Copies of this chain bind each other. A is one copy, B any other.
Amino acid sequence: MRNNRKNLELRKIEIIPDFIKNADASCLIKSGDTHVVCTASIEDKLPRWLKGSGNGWVTAEYGMLPRSTHERMRREASVGKVGGRTSEIQRLIGRSLRASIDTQLLGEYLITIDCDVLQADGGTRTASITGGFVALKKCIDLMIKRKQINHNPIKNYVAAISCGIINGKIMMDLDYEEDSKADIDSNYVMNDKNQIIELQLTGEKTTCSETQFLEMMQHSKKSIEEIILIQKKVFSA
């Protein structure tokens, strides 16, 4: 057994809405010791290839504070470029969030979701998707209220979770220490209709049998149902 948790148990998730006053919408999501600030920014400057199409777009950026990690990391600004891992994660967040939106109903707006990790303890990309969706939906609610949008473009809730295999045992929601010991690491992004949006499995240390994989997917599905309930509470409050 792991630190105070059963193998299939998630860490405690807390979502504090309106964390950043200057943003159009925002939240702080805490998943155990992983803390991510998610903000939404509305712009009417669409990317060139969308201008005049009547459609909008949702994009995401991801960053880590230099001391969000155990060892201080160099700032990407002083390195002078966005690293490979960062760009991979922000592309994943962007695709995942766009899967919740009807871009035609959104109209010609660009919404940028910024996910900035204050403290990292594993699962920052899944927390960013889960929290990013909350910021996005709050932003859409605001735009509807302000009459910038007439029809709600939100098609479904979106949330994400990680699942790994350590010493042959399936464990949900790996923290940093577990993640570095995992043989198999996988991430699931699903909606509130149990449909798959993104699925990424990596077996660098060992490979994964089909049976193991199918079991992991079942557990992840259940976990995402739990997480979506927590997201929904933010909006019912």
Q: Which A residues have a C-beta under 8 Å from some C-beta of B?
A: 20-23, 26, 33, 37, 39, 41, 43, 61, 63, 65-70, 72, 75-88, 90-91, 95, 98-99, 112, 114, 116, 118-121, 186, 190-191, 193-204, 207-210, 213-214, 217, 221
Kindly provide the distance from the CB of A56 to the nearest chain B CB, expressed in whole angstroms.
15
**Chain B residue at minimum C-beta to C-beta distance from A84:** B87
**Chain B residue at minimum C-beta to C-beta distance from A39:** B67
Q: Contacts A63-B66, A95-B204 known; list 20 others, CB within 8 Å.
A: A20-B118, A22-B119, A61-B66, A63-B77, A72-B112, A75-B77, A77-B79, A77-B81, A81-B81, A84-B84, A85-B91, A87-B88, A88-B91, A95-B202, A98-B204, A194-B210, A195-B208, A197-B202, A197-B203, A210-B221
What is the predominant secondary structure among interface residues of chain A facing chain B?
Answer: mixed
Kindly provide the distance from the CB of A20 to the nearest chain B CB, expressed in whole angstroms.
5
Contact, CB under 8 Å: B67 / A41: yes
Contacts of A82 on B, CB cut-off 8 Å? 75, 77-78, 81, 84
List 6 interface pairs A-B (beta carbons < 8 Å), by A numbering: A22-B70, A37-B65, A39-B66, A80-B81, A85-B91, A186-B199
Bound Cα distance A77, B78 (Å): 7
Contact, CB under 8 Å: A61 / B81: no
- Given A81-B81, A99-B203, A196 and B217 contact (CB-CB distance below 8 Å): no
Q: So how many copies of this chain end up in the complex? A: 6
Question: Which listed residue (B33, B41, B209) contacts A72, Cβ 8 A?
Answer: B41
Contact, CB under 8 Å: B99 / A22: no
Contact, CB under 8 Å: B21 / A119: yes
Contact, CB under 8 Å: A207 / B63: no
Contact, CB under 8 Å: A198 / B201: yes
Contact, CB under 8 Å: A199 / B201: yes
Kindly provide the distance from the CB of A180 to the nearest chain B CB, expressed in whole angstroms.
13
Contacts of A63 on B, CB cut-off 8 Å? 65-66, 75, 77
**Chain B residue at minimum C-beta to C-beta distance from A198:** B202
- Given A210-B196, A213-B199, A61 and B87 contact (CB-CB distance below 8 Å): no
